[in-house]
Structure 1
Amino acid sequence: MTTGRPTRHRGRRRARSRATRIVLAVGAVAAVLALAVVVVPLLLPPGPRPLFQLPVACGETWQLGTYPGHDDYDVDLFPTEGESWGRPVLASYGGTVTEAGINGSLGGRTPENPDGPRGRGGGYWVKIDHGGRWETQYLHLLEPPVVRVGQWVAQGEQIGRLGSTGNSGAPHLHYEQRRGWEKVETWFDGSPSGITHDDAEYTVRRTSNNCRTAPTR
Protein backbone atom coordinates (compact mmCIF):
# COMPACT_ATOMS: atom_id res chain seq x y z
CA MET A 1 0.00 0.00 0.00
CA THR A 2 1.34 3.49 -0.91
CA THR A 3 0.32 6.93 0.27
CA GLY A 4 1.83 9.06 -2.56
CA ARG A 5 3.88 11.17 -0.14
CA PRO A 6 7.31 10.13 -1.48
CA THR A 7 6.31 11.40 -4.93
CA ARG A 8 5.35 14.78 -3.46
CA HIS A 9 8.66 14.91 -1.57
CA ARG A 10 10.61 14.16 -4.74
CA GLY A 11 8.67 16.90 -6.53
CA ARG A 12 9.50 19.42 -3.83
CA ARG A 13 13.18 18.44 -3.95
CA ARG A 14 13.25 18.86 -7.74
CA ALA A 15 11.58 22.27 -7.45
CA ARG A 16 14.07 23.38 -4.81
CA SER A 17 16.93 22.10 -6.96
CA ARG A 18 15.66 24.04 -9.97
CA ALA A 19 15.26 27.18 -7.86
CA THR A 20 18.80 26.78 -6.52
CA ARG A 21 20.20 26.42 -10.05
CA ILE A 22 18.32 29.51 -11.20
CA VAL A 23 19.61 31.56 -8.26
CA LEU A 24 23.19 30.41 -8.91
CA ALA A 25 22.88 31.16 -12.62
CA VAL A 26 21.52 34.64 -11.95
CA GLY A 27 24.30 35.26 -9.42
CA ALA A 28 26.95 34.13 -11.91
CA VAL A 29 25.57 36.43 -14.62
CA ALA A 30 25.49 39.36 -12.16
CA ALA A 31 29.10 38.66 -11.13
CA VAL A 32 30.25 38.57 -14.77
CA LEU A 33 28.46 41.84 -15.53
CA ALA A 34 29.93 43.51 -12.43
CA LEU A 35 33.43 42.36 -13.43
CA ALA A 36 32.91 43.62 -16.97
CA VAL A 37 31.90 47.06 -15.66
CA VAL A 38 35.24 47.27 -13.82
CA VAL A 39 37.57 45.54 -16.28
CA VAL A 40 36.33 46.67 -19.71
CA PRO A 41 37.02 50.42 -19.14
CA LEU A 42 40.57 49.52 -18.04
CA LEU A 43 41.16 47.65 -21.31
CA LEU A 44 40.00 50.52 -23.50
CA PRO A 45 42.66 52.91 -24.85
CA PRO A 46 42.93 56.26 -23.04
CA GLY A 47 40.86 59.11 -24.38
CA PRO A 48 42.27 62.38 -25.72
CA ARG A 49 44.31 64.51 -23.33
CA PRO A 50 42.09 66.99 -21.45
CA LEU A 51 43.00 70.67 -21.70
CA PHE A 52 44.72 70.72 -18.31
CA GLN A 53 45.55 74.06 -16.73
CA LEU A 54 48.08 74.95 -14.05
CA PRO A 55 46.54 74.06 -10.66
CA VAL A 56 46.94 77.63 -9.38
CA ALA A 57 45.11 80.94 -9.63
CA CYS A 58 44.47 82.58 -12.98
CA GLY A 59 47.21 84.98 -14.07
CA GLU A 60 49.81 83.91 -11.52
CA THR A 61 53.32 82.94 -12.67
CA TRP A 62 54.83 79.86 -11.01
CA GLN A 63 58.10 77.98 -11.28
CA LEU A 64 57.83 74.35 -12.37
CA GLY A 65 60.79 72.15 -11.63
CA THR A 66 62.38 68.80 -10.98
CA TYR A 67 65.72 67.50 -9.68
CA PRO A 68 67.74 64.26 -9.63
CA GLY A 69 65.89 61.52 -7.79
CA HIS A 70 62.52 63.27 -8.02
CA ASP A 71 61.13 60.64 -10.44
CA ASP A 72 60.35 61.07 -14.11
CA TYR A 73 57.50 63.44 -15.03
CA ASP A 74 56.96 64.63 -11.43
CA VAL A 75 56.57 68.41 -11.16
CA ASP A 76 57.10 70.65 -8.13
CA LEU A 77 55.41 74.05 -8.28
CA PHE A 78 56.55 77.16 -6.39
CA PRO A 79 55.05 80.66 -6.66
CA THR A 80 57.45 83.28 -8.00
CA GLU A 81 55.94 86.04 -5.86
CA GLY A 82 54.33 86.27 -2.44
CA GLU A 83 53.88 83.81 0.41
CA SER A 84 53.84 80.11 -0.46
CA TRP A 85 52.03 78.74 2.59
CA GLY A 86 48.29 78.47 2.16
CA ARG A 87 48.05 79.43 -1.52
CA PRO A 88 44.91 77.99 -3.17
CA VAL A 89 45.39 74.73 -5.07
CA LEU A 90 42.89 74.34 -7.91
CA ALA A 91 41.62 71.44 -10.03
CA SER A 92 43.47 71.37 -13.35
CA TYR A 93 40.35 70.10 -15.11
CA GLY A 94 36.87 68.96 -14.18
CA GLY A 95 36.46 65.47 -12.75
CA THR A 96 35.54 63.24 -9.83
CA VAL A 97 37.62 63.13 -6.66
CA THR A 98 38.89 59.58 -6.02
CA GLU A 99 41.31 60.30 -3.15
CA ALA A 100 41.17 63.05 -0.53
CA GLY A 101 43.05 62.40 2.68
CA ILE A 102 46.51 61.41 3.87
CA ASN A 103 49.19 59.67 1.80
CA GLY A 104 51.89 58.29 4.12
CA SER A 105 52.25 60.49 7.21
CA LEU A 106 51.97 64.23 7.79
CA GLY A 107 55.15 65.15 9.64
CA GLY A 108 55.33 68.45 11.49
CA ARG A 109 56.16 71.21 9.01
CA THR A 110 53.77 74.15 9.36
CA PRO A 111 53.85 77.91 8.76
CA GLU A 112 54.65 78.31 12.45
CA ASN A 113 57.32 75.59 12.39
CA PRO A 114 58.65 75.39 8.80
CA ASP A 115 61.69 73.32 9.82
CA GLY A 116 59.71 70.72 11.74
CA PRO A 117 60.12 66.99 11.14
CA ARG A 118 59.33 65.59 7.71
CA GLY A 119 56.63 63.03 7.23
CA ARG A 120 56.41 60.24 4.67
CA GLY A 121 54.84 60.16 1.23
CA GLY A 122 52.54 62.88 -0.03
CA GLY A 123 50.94 64.07 3.20
CA TYR A 124 47.53 65.60 2.58
CA TRP A 125 46.64 64.88 -1.03
CA VAL A 126 43.92 64.75 -3.68
CA LYS A 127 43.50 62.61 -6.78
CA ILE A 128 40.96 63.44 -9.50
CA ASP A 129 39.62 61.16 -12.24
CA HIS A 130 38.97 63.22 -15.39
CA GLY A 131 37.51 60.41 -17.49
CA GLY A 132 39.13 58.67 -20.44
CA ARG A 133 41.61 57.09 -18.00
CA TRP A 134 43.22 60.46 -17.21
CA GLU A 135 44.04 61.47 -13.63
CA THR A 136 45.82 64.26 -11.78
CA GLN A 137 47.40 64.15 -8.30
CA TYR A 138 48.10 67.00 -5.87
CA LEU A 139 50.40 66.34 -2.87
CA HIS A 140 51.83 68.06 0.25
CA LEU A 141 48.72 70.15 0.96
CA LEU A 142 48.73 72.25 4.12
CA GLU A 143 45.61 70.76 5.70
CA PRO A 144 42.79 68.30 4.95
CA PRO A 145 41.46 68.81 1.42
CA VAL A 146 38.32 70.90 1.04
CA VAL A 147 36.81 68.25 -1.24
CA ARG A 148 35.66 64.70 -0.54
CA VAL A 149 35.83 61.36 -2.37
CA GLY A 150 33.03 61.05 -4.91
CA GLN A 151 32.61 64.81 -5.31
CA TRP A 152 32.63 66.26 -8.80
CA VAL A 153 34.80 69.37 -9.11
CA ALA A 154 34.97 71.93 -11.90
CA GLN A 155 38.17 73.09 -13.56
CA GLY A 156 39.50 75.93 -11.42
CA GLU A 157 37.64 74.87 -8.26
CA GLN A 158 39.74 74.99 -5.08
CA ILE A 159 40.59 71.57 -3.67
CA GLY A 160 43.06 72.53 -0.93
CA ARG A 161 45.88 74.86 0.14
CA LEU A 162 49.60 74.65 -0.53
CA GLY A 163 51.70 73.29 2.31
CA SER A 164 54.57 70.98 3.22
CA THR A 165 53.05 67.82 4.70
CA GLY A 166 54.54 64.40 4.00
CA ASN A 167 58.09 64.06 2.70
CA SER A 168 58.54 67.71 1.82
CA GLY A 169 61.40 70.11 2.48
CA ALA A 170 59.57 73.38 1.86
CA PRO A 171 56.04 74.53 1.01
CA HIS A 172 55.25 73.58 -2.59
CA LEU A 173 52.82 71.54 -4.67
CA HIS A 174 53.90 68.18 -6.04
CA TYR A 175 51.78 67.54 -9.13
CA GLU A 176 51.34 64.64 -11.55
CA GLN A 177 49.31 63.83 -14.65
CA ARG A 178 48.58 60.17 -15.35
CA ARG A 179 47.27 58.35 -18.41
CA GLY A 180 46.05 54.91 -17.45
CA TRP A 181 48.49 53.57 -14.86
CA GLU A 182 51.45 55.59 -16.12
CA LYS A 183 52.73 59.06 -15.34
CA VAL A 184 53.22 61.21 -18.41
CA GLU A 185 54.67 64.61 -19.22
CA THR A 186 52.51 67.38 -17.82
CA TRP A 187 50.83 69.67 -20.32
CA PHE A 188 49.24 72.99 -19.41
CA ASP A 189 46.91 75.01 -21.61
CA GLY A 190 47.77 72.78 -24.57
CA SER A 191 51.57 73.01 -24.23
CA PRO A 192 54.08 70.49 -22.80
CA SER A 193 55.97 71.49 -19.66
CA GLY A 194 59.26 70.03 -20.86
CA ILE A 195 59.68 68.02 -17.63
CA THR A 196 60.17 64.43 -18.73
CA HIS A 197 62.98 62.97 -16.59
CA ASP A 198 64.91 63.60 -13.39
CA ASP A 199 68.44 63.23 -14.75
CA ALA A 200 69.25 66.84 -13.91
CA GLU A 201 67.75 69.86 -12.22
CA TYR A 202 65.39 71.70 -14.54
CA THR A 203 63.04 74.65 -14.03
CA VAL A 204 60.65 76.59 -16.23
CA ARG A 205 58.14 79.36 -15.60
CA ARG A 206 54.52 79.26 -16.67
CA THR A 207 51.62 81.66 -16.19
CA SER A 208 48.29 80.11 -15.21
CA ASN A 209 45.30 80.24 -17.53
CA ASN A 210 43.16 78.41 -14.97
CA CYS A 211 40.46 81.05 -15.18
CA ARG A 212 37.30 79.39 -13.97
CA THR A 213 34.21 79.55 -16.15
CA ALA A 214 30.73 78.11 -15.64
CA PRO A 215 31.13 74.47 -14.52
CA THR A 216 30.35 71.80 -17.10
CA ARG A 217 30.15 68.03 -16.85
Structure 2
Amino acid sequence: MTERRPVPLFAGAAVTVALAAAAVFVLTTPREPGPRPAFQLPVACDETWILGTYPGHDDFDIDFFPSRGKAWGRPILASYAGEVIESGINGTLGERTPDNPDGPIGTGAGYWVKIDHGGLWTTQYLHMLEPPTVSEGQRVEQGQQLGRIGSTGKSGAPHLHYEQRAAGEKMEAWFAGVPSGITSDDREYSVRRTSTNCVPSE
Protein backbone atom coordinates (compact mmCIF):
# COMPACT_ATOMS: atom_id res chain seq x y z
CA MET A 1 0.00 0.00 0.00
CA THR A 2 1.45 3.32 -1.11
CA GLU A 3 1.66 6.01 1.53
CA ARG A 4 0.29 9.43 0.45
CA ARG A 5 2.61 12.26 1.26
CA PRO A 6 0.95 15.42 2.57
CA VAL A 7 1.16 18.54 0.38
CA PRO A 8 3.03 21.32 2.20
CA LEU A 9 0.76 24.13 3.33
CA PHE A 10 2.81 26.76 1.56
CA ALA A 11 2.34 24.95 -1.79
CA GLY A 12 -1.45 24.99 -1.43
CA ALA A 13 -1.38 28.65 -0.47
CA ALA A 14 0.78 29.47 -3.48
CA VAL A 15 -1.70 27.78 -5.81
CA THR A 16 -4.58 29.70 -4.23
CA VAL A 17 -2.75 33.01 -4.62
CA ALA A 18 -1.89 32.24 -8.25
CA LEU A 19 -5.50 31.40 -9.09
CA ALA A 20 -6.75 34.58 -7.39
CA ALA A 21 -4.21 36.68 -9.30
CA ALA A 22 -5.28 35.09 -12.58
CA ALA A 23 -8.92 35.82 -11.80
CA VAL A 24 -8.13 39.46 -11.02
CA PHE A 25 -6.17 39.76 -14.27
CA VAL A 26 -9.08 38.38 -16.27
CA LEU A 27 -11.57 40.66 -14.56
CA THR A 28 -9.50 43.83 -14.85
CA THR A 29 -7.99 43.40 -18.32
CA PRO A 30 -9.76 45.99 -20.50
CA ARG A 31 -11.79 44.65 -23.39
CA GLU A 32 -11.67 46.27 -26.81
CA PRO A 33 -14.98 47.68 -28.08
CA GLY A 34 -16.52 46.19 -31.18
CA PRO A 35 -17.23 48.06 -34.42
CA ARG A 36 -19.04 51.38 -34.02
CA PRO A 37 -22.81 50.92 -34.48
CA ALA A 38 -24.51 52.88 -37.28
CA PHE A 39 -25.74 55.61 -34.93
CA GLN A 40 -28.27 58.20 -36.09
CA LEU A 41 -29.11 61.61 -34.66
CA PRO A 42 -31.39 61.15 -31.62
CA VAL A 43 -34.04 63.48 -33.08
CA ALA A 44 -36.84 63.31 -35.62
CA CYS A 45 -36.26 62.42 -39.26
CA ASP A 46 -35.40 65.31 -41.64
CA GLU A 47 -35.15 67.91 -38.85
CA THR A 48 -32.04 70.13 -38.70
CA TRP A 49 -30.51 70.62 -35.27
CA ILE A 50 -27.69 72.67 -33.77
CA LEU A 51 -25.10 70.51 -31.99
CA GLY A 52 -22.97 72.52 -29.59
CA THR A 53 -20.51 72.54 -26.73
CA TYR A 54 -18.74 75.08 -24.51
CA PRO A 55 -15.76 75.29 -22.11
CA GLY A 56 -16.14 72.94 -19.16
CA HIS A 57 -18.79 70.81 -20.90
CA ASP A 58 -16.33 67.86 -21.26
CA ASP A 59 -14.84 66.68 -24.53
CA PHE A 60 -17.29 64.95 -26.88
CA ASP A 61 -20.45 65.94 -24.91
CA ILE A 62 -23.11 67.35 -27.24
CA ASP A 63 -26.03 69.66 -26.49
CA PHE A 64 -28.86 69.49 -29.04
CA PHE A 65 -31.04 72.50 -29.82
CA PRO A 66 -33.57 72.65 -32.69
CA SER A 67 -32.66 75.08 -35.46
CA ARG A 68 -36.31 76.14 -35.64
CA GLY A 69 -39.09 76.23 -33.05
CA LYS A 70 -39.07 75.51 -29.35
CA ALA A 71 -37.11 72.67 -27.75
CA TRP A 72 -39.61 71.88 -24.98
CA GLY A 73 -41.32 68.54 -25.52
CA ARG A 74 -39.57 67.53 -28.74
CA PRO A 75 -39.21 63.74 -29.05
CA ILE A 76 -35.90 62.09 -28.12
CA LEU A 77 -35.21 59.00 -30.23
CA ALA A 78 -32.89 56.02 -29.81
CA SER A 79 -29.78 56.48 -31.95
CA TYR A 80 -29.51 52.74 -32.51
CA ALA A 81 -31.17 49.54 -31.30
CA GLY A 82 -30.18 48.14 -27.93
CA GLU A 83 -31.19 47.43 -24.34
CA VAL A 84 -32.06 50.10 -21.80
CA ILE A 85 -29.69 49.73 -18.84
CA GLU A 86 -30.52 52.97 -16.99
CA SER A 87 -33.84 54.83 -16.93
CA GLY A 88 -35.14 57.25 -14.33
CA ILE A 89 -33.65 60.06 -12.26
CA ASN A 90 -29.98 60.95 -11.89
CA GLY A 91 -29.31 63.67 -9.30
CA THR A 92 -32.21 66.02 -8.55
CA LEU A 93 -34.83 67.28 -11.00
CA GLY A 94 -34.99 70.97 -10.18
CA GLU A 95 -38.13 72.90 -11.08
CA ARG A 96 -37.66 74.06 -14.68
CA THR A 97 -40.74 73.39 -16.81
CA PRO A 98 -42.36 74.97 -19.88
CA ASP A 99 -44.56 76.98 -17.50
CA ASN A 100 -41.65 77.89 -15.21
CA PRO A 101 -38.54 77.98 -17.46
CA ASP A 102 -36.49 80.03 -14.97
CA GLY A 103 -37.19 77.87 -11.93
CA PRO A 104 -34.47 76.41 -9.69
CA ILE A 105 -31.86 74.24 -11.42
CA GLY A 106 -31.37 70.67 -10.24
CA THR A 107 -28.27 68.48 -10.21
CA GLY A 108 -26.93 65.70 -12.42
CA ALA A 109 -28.74 64.37 -15.48
CA GLY A 110 -32.33 64.73 -14.24
CA TYR A 111 -34.59 62.33 -16.12
CA TRP A 112 -32.30 60.25 -18.31
CA VAL A 113 -31.80 57.02 -20.29
CA LYS A 114 -28.71 54.93 -21.03
CA ILE A 115 -28.73 52.27 -23.75
CA ASP A 116 -26.35 49.34 -24.26
CA HIS A 117 -25.88 48.73 -28.00
CA GLY A 118 -23.56 45.73 -27.66
CA GLY A 119 -19.85 45.57 -28.36
CA LEU A 120 -19.23 47.82 -25.31
CA TRP A 121 -20.97 50.77 -27.01
CA THR A 122 -23.51 52.86 -25.07
CA THR A 123 -25.41 56.12 -25.54
CA GLN A 124 -26.80 58.52 -22.91
CA TYR A 125 -29.73 60.95 -23.14
CA LEU A 126 -30.06 63.58 -20.37
CA HIS A 127 -32.38 66.32 -19.04
CA MET A 128 -35.70 64.85 -20.20
CA LEU A 129 -38.89 66.77 -19.48
CA GLU A 130 -40.62 63.91 -17.67
CA PRO A 131 -40.05 60.24 -16.79
CA PRO A 132 -38.70 58.28 -19.78
CA THR A 133 -41.12 56.25 -21.85
CA VAL A 134 -38.83 53.20 -21.67
CA SER A 135 -37.68 51.14 -18.70
CA GLU A 136 -34.58 49.19 -17.65
CA GLY A 137 -34.25 45.84 -19.40
CA GLN A 138 -36.44 46.91 -22.30
CA ARG A 139 -35.33 46.31 -25.89
CA VAL A 140 -35.59 49.42 -28.05
CA GLU A 141 -35.23 49.88 -31.79
CA GLN A 142 -33.44 52.63 -33.66
CA GLY A 143 -35.81 55.61 -33.94
CA GLN A 144 -37.98 54.55 -30.99
CA GLN A 145 -39.01 57.42 -28.71
CA LEU A 146 -37.33 57.42 -25.30
CA GLY A 147 -38.80 60.61 -23.86
CA ARG A 148 -39.14 64.33 -24.53
CA ILE A 149 -36.71 67.25 -24.33
CA GLY A 150 -36.79 69.20 -21.09
CA SER A 151 -34.51 70.90 -18.61
CA THR A 152 -34.35 68.62 -15.57
CA GLY A 153 -31.15 68.15 -13.60
CA LYS A 154 -28.24 70.55 -14.03
CA SER A 155 -29.64 72.32 -17.06
CA GLY A 156 -29.99 76.02 -17.78
CA ALA A 157 -32.32 75.70 -20.77
CA PRO A 158 -34.34 72.98 -22.51
CA HIS A 159 -32.05 70.78 -24.60
CA LEU A 160 -30.83 67.21 -25.03
CA HIS A 161 -27.39 66.37 -23.65
CA TYR A 162 -26.10 63.35 -25.56
CA GLU A 163 -23.03 61.09 -25.36
CA GLN A 164 -21.59 58.08 -27.18
CA ARG A 165 -19.21 55.85 -25.20
CA ALA A 166 -17.00 52.88 -26.07
CA ALA A 167 -15.87 50.66 -23.18
CA GLY A 168 -16.97 53.43 -20.83
CA GLU A 169 -14.88 56.14 -22.51
CA LYS A 170 -16.50 59.13 -24.21
CA MET A 171 -15.93 59.19 -27.96
CA GLU A 172 -16.60 61.69 -30.72
CA ALA A 173 -20.18 60.98 -31.76
CA TRP A 174 -20.75 59.82 -35.32
CA PHE A 175 -24.13 60.05 -37.05
CA ALA A 176 -25.05 58.27 -40.29
CA GLY A 177 -21.39 57.27 -40.67
CA VAL A 178 -20.06 60.84 -40.38
CA PRO A 179 -18.15 62.42 -37.44
CA SER A 180 -20.23 65.01 -35.59
CA GLY A 181 -17.44 67.58 -35.43
CA ILE A 182 -17.93 68.06 -31.67
CA THR A 183 -14.66 67.05 -30.05
CA SER A 184 -12.93 69.40 -27.60
CA ASP A 185 -14.60 71.65 -25.02
CA ASP A 186 -11.80 74.23 -25.21
CA ARG A 187 -14.15 76.80 -26.76
CA GLU A 188 -17.80 77.40 -27.54
CA TYR A 189 -18.79 76.25 -31.03
CA SER A 190 -21.58 74.46 -32.87
CA VAL A 191 -22.40 72.57 -36.05
CA ARG A 192 -25.65 71.88 -37.89
CA ARG A 193 -26.75 68.39 -38.79
CA THR A 194 -29.94 67.03 -40.39
CA SER A 195 -31.41 63.81 -38.99
CA THR A 196 -31.72 60.66 -41.06
CA ASN A 197 -33.17 58.77 -38.07
CA CYS A 198 -36.10 57.69 -40.20
CA VAL A 199 -38.06 54.55 -39.41
CA PRO A 200 -38.93 52.66 -42.64
CA SER A 201 -42.64 52.53 -43.37
CA GLU A 202 -44.15 49.05 -43.46
- TM bracket, shorter-chain basis: 0.7 to 0.9
Do 2:101 and 2:157's aligned partners in 1 also have CA atoms closer than 8 Å? yes
Alignment partner of 1:120 is 2:113: no
Equivalent position to 1:79, from 66, 70, 75: 66
- Structure holding more helix per residue: 1
Alignment partner of 1:149 is 2:140: no
Give the aligned length. 180
Equivalent position to 1:100, from 80, 87, 102: 87
Tell me how far apart the structure 2 counterparts of residues 153 and 183 of structure 1 sit (CA, whole Å).
22
Do 2:88 and 2:131's aligned partners in 1 also have CA atoms closer than 8 Å? yes
Alignment partner of 1:160 is 2:147: yes
Tell me how far apart the structure 1 counterparts of residues 200 and 32 of structure 2 sit (CA, whole Å).
29
Q: Which amino acid aligns with 1:112?
A: D
Q: Name structure 1 gaps, 5 residues minimum.
A: 1-31
Q: Which amino acid aligns with 1:78?
A: F
Q: Name structure 2 gaps, 5 residues minimum.
A: 1-19
Equivalent position to 1:178, from 140, 156, 165: 165
Equivalent position to 2:189, from 168, 177, 202: 202
Q: Which amino acid aligns with 2:103?
A: G
Tell me how far apart the structure 2 counterparts of residues 88 and 185 of structure 1 sit (CA, whole Å).
23
Tell me how far apart the structure 2 counterparts of residues 39 and 145 of structure 1 sit (CA, whole Å).
33
Q: % of aligned pairs identical?
A: 68
Instruction: For residue 69 of structure 2, give the secondary structure of its aligned residue in structure 1.
Output: coil
Alignment partner of 1:89 is 2:76: yes
CA RMSD in angstroms comes to 2.0
Structure 1 residues 101, 118: closer, same or farther in 2, change over 3 A? Answer: same
- Computing the radius of gyration from Cα coordinates, the structure with the larger value is 1
Alignment partner of 1:193 is 2:180: yes
Give the structure 2 partner of residue 16 of structure 1: none
- Structure holding more strand per residue: 2
Give the structure 2 partner of residue 8 of structure 1: none
Tell me how far apart the structure 2 counterparts of residues 91 and 150 of structure 1 sit (CA, whole Å).
15
Q: Which amino acid aligns with 1:176?
A: E
Tell me how far apart the structure 1 counterparts of residues 62 and 179 of structure 2 sit (CA, whole Å).
12
| Shift in Å, 1:214 | 7.6
Tell me how far apart the structure 2 counterparts of residues 63 and 119 of structure 1 sit (CA, whole Å).
24
Q: TM-score by structure 2 length?
A: 0.85
Q: TM-score by structure 1 length?
A: 0.79
